[in-house]
Structure 1
Amino acid sequence: MYDAQREIRNIGTIATKEFRDNVGSKRFIFIGFFYLLFAVVLSLVTGYVSKDTRPYMVLGMMESLNLIVALLAVIISADTLSLEKKDRTVYQLLSKPVERSSVVIGKYLGCLAVIATLFTACALLAYALTAVFSGTMPAPGDLIPFVGAILAENLMLAAYIAIGVLVSTVTKNPFISIMAAFLAWVVLFMTSTMGNIVGLFAAQESMLFYAGDTFDLYPVYAKAMIWVDPMSHGMVSQLLSGNTGTAIAGLPLWANVAFLLGYALLLLTAAVMLFKNQDIT
């Protein structure tokens, strides 16, 4: 019989263990260190070069580091289940009164907590350093765009975590899981890049007589190539500018939020269903 309270506790326990295991891993420390270093450098550049910039605007520059943190997201989550299969600890886990869906969700939330903690900590540090080096004190109105940008970035990372968990569900070897997740990261980036190139090429004749967003002229297949990459839905610049009516990837703010939520939930649901029906031997 399904016990909701028990499964909530199980999810929390699994997520906590996953968080602790990943925070102490060499890959997290290595990639996380470089991400933190780049964030500090960007805050110094923003503070010294742009004296009139509000401190929260450093998050706009941190968007250029999305490739790094997205890579860490898929790598951290890629072997979350395949490693359990390889070490055969999954048998010990499933021998307890715990639903398979709780295992996947707990693993997902644990990985998400790791990446969200890293990004949020780096964003706060960059914000503080930018304020110090620019000599510009934060204003009360800075809080809303700053928090909104952090939430938007974490939502994008949630989609990448779901990709990693899905890959980990269908593989048994951790090395293969990480390589497959890395390949997915590369393919998504290249697909969106090619989508922009193809879209611009297809729309070049109409661009001379069109005053609106060039993205509107892209063919549907080019738009789909861009939308499939979670990074293309980055809403940080949109939120920091305060102009939430501006379209990003041809979509308004609410549509980008809904798309990323649906993206992450769809992949997580697929991972849950696959793991529930998997013959783990």
Structure 2
Amino acid sequence: MQTQSFGRIWAIASNGFREVIRDRVLYIIGFFALLLIISLRLLPEVAATTEDKIFIDLGLAGISVLSVLVAVFVGTGLINKEIDRRTVLVLIPKPLSRAEFIIGKYLGLLGVLGVLIIALTGIYLILLSFSKIDYPAGSILVSTIFLFLELCLITGVALMFGVFTSSILATLLTFGVYLMGHLSRDLLALGKLSKNSSVEILTQGIYLLLPDLSRLNLKNEAVYGLLPDPQILLGHTVYALVYTILLLAIAILIFSRREF
């Protein structure tokens, strides 16, 4: 029974992977390469002494922004697209549970994001080496791994909103969670500075509810070759995985109660 379930999930994931890949997602790789090549030509003219650090930072930021855009825009439309096409009405009555359908779609998109990050990071490192820029390779690779963990979480958010609302509203809500997730620590610190117990309780509640995405943002540390201790990195990894599993569980619960 479990083997059959894994087979159905794999079929949905592989089909979703091919569908998203065909949706011009790979054009992003060409756009990223062109952006970096142009930056290599322009940065020496505007930043004569710091162009190396700026280019390292720009490359990491570009990988993050482009992959997050794919995760949000594609993730929020994964389920609604199947509903609009009425294909979900054909798949669900078959021996395919709604949980298998959600997990398969999720893993298919993660596969695309994994390929995208590997390709973008490869181009980035090749251009760094070609330009003879001294860069902390280990720190950069660790930061991209944590970027993938962040994408796992954000894709879970996008999928959760996408199963019960329109793609446009789900996109706006997901971007809101993404922005607030990166500001949640600042919001918590602001509540403590206010010296108001009500404000402090409110900010603590928001911090506990929203994902703390600053845990997974290691771009600034990677630029200077600085990373937290392995124990801290392990804690951040567990945090991202547990939060992602919780989001998927909520998405499955909502989708299982939805009528078509």
Q: TM-score range by the shorter chain?
A: 0.7 to 0.9
Given the alignment of the two structures, is residue 149 of structure 1 paired with residue 131 of structure 2, yes or no? no
Aligned 1:175-186 pairs, distance under 5 A: 176-186=166-176
Give per-residue Cα distances to partners, 1:25-44, cap 9 Å, x unaligned.
14x35656544544555677
- Is the 8 Å Cα contact of residues 181 and 214 (structure 2) preserved in structure 1? no
Structure 2 CA distance for aligned equivalents of residues 245 and 229 of structure 1: 21
Cα separation, partners in 2 of 1:78 and 1:239, compared to 1, 3 Å: same
What TM-score do you get using the length of structure 1 for normalisation? 0.72
Indicate the residue corresponding to 1:64 in structure 2: 61
CA distance in 2, matches of 1:270, 1:91: 21
Decide which of 78, 83, 103 is 1:85's aligned counterpart. Answer: 83
Structure 2, gaps ≥5 residues long: none
Tell me by how many angstroms 1:276 deviates: 2.3
Supply the distance in 1 between the matched residues of 2:22 and 2:119 (Cα, whole angstroms).
Answer: 16
Alignment of 1:110-259 (within 5 A): 110-134=108-132, 144-171=138-165, 176-190=166-180, 192-193=182-183, 196=186, 199=189, 203=193, 222=203, 225=206, 228-229=210-211, 231-233=213-215, 234-238=217-221, 241-245=225-229, 252-259=232-239
Cα separation, 2, equivalents of 1:117 and 1:31: 12
**Distance in structure 1 (CA, Å) of the matches to 2:188 and 2:125:** 37
Contact in 2 for aligned 1:149/1:236 (Cα 8 Å): yes
Post-superposition offset of 1:269: 0.9
Find out whether 1:273 has 2:253 as its counterpart: yes
Task: For residue 79 of structure 1, give the secondary structure of its aligned residue in structure 2.
Answer: helix
- Equivalent residues of 2:52, 2:133 under 8 A apart: no
| Alignment TM-score, normalising by the size of structure 2 | 0.77
Any conservation in 2 of the 1:31–1:72 contact (CA below 8 Å)? no
How many matched pairs?
250
Larger helix percent: 2
Structure 1: which amino acid aligns with 2:189?
G
Taking a change above 3 Å as real, the CA distance of residues 243 and 223 of structure 1, as seen in their structure-2 partners, is farther
Whether 1:262 and 2:242 are equivalent positions in the alignment is yes
Q: For the Cα contact (< 8 Å) 1:42–1:126, is it kept in 2?
A: no
What is the RMSD computed on CA atoms of the aligned residues? 3.7
CA contact (8 A) 2:211 2:243 kept: no
The answer to whether the Cα contact below 8 Å between 1:245 and 1:252 also exists between their aligned partners in 2 is yes
What is the deviation of 1:197?
A: 6.5
The residue aligned with 1:7 is: 5
Please tell me the residue identity of whatever aligns with 2:218. Answer: M
CA contact (8 A) 1:80 1:107 kept: yes
C-alpha displacement at 1:239, in angstroms?
Answer: 5.9
Q: Percent identity over the alignment?
A: 20
User: Residues 36-65 of structure 1: CA distance to partner in whole angstroms, max 9, x if unpaired?
Assistant: 5445556777899789979xx93x544433
Task: Tell me how far 1:18 sits from its aligned partner.
Answer: 0.6
SS at match of 1:170: coil
- Per-residue CA deviations over 1:199-226 (Å, capped at 9, x if unaligned) read 3585499xxxxxxxxxxxxx67556656
Letter in 2 for 1:97: P
Q: Distance in 1 between matches of 2:161 and 2:91?
A: 20
Runs of 4+ in 1 over 6 A off after TM superposition: 43-54
CA distance in structure 2 between the partners assigned to 1:52 and 1:42 by the alignment: 9
Determine if contact 1:46/1:134 at 8 Å carries over to the other structure: no
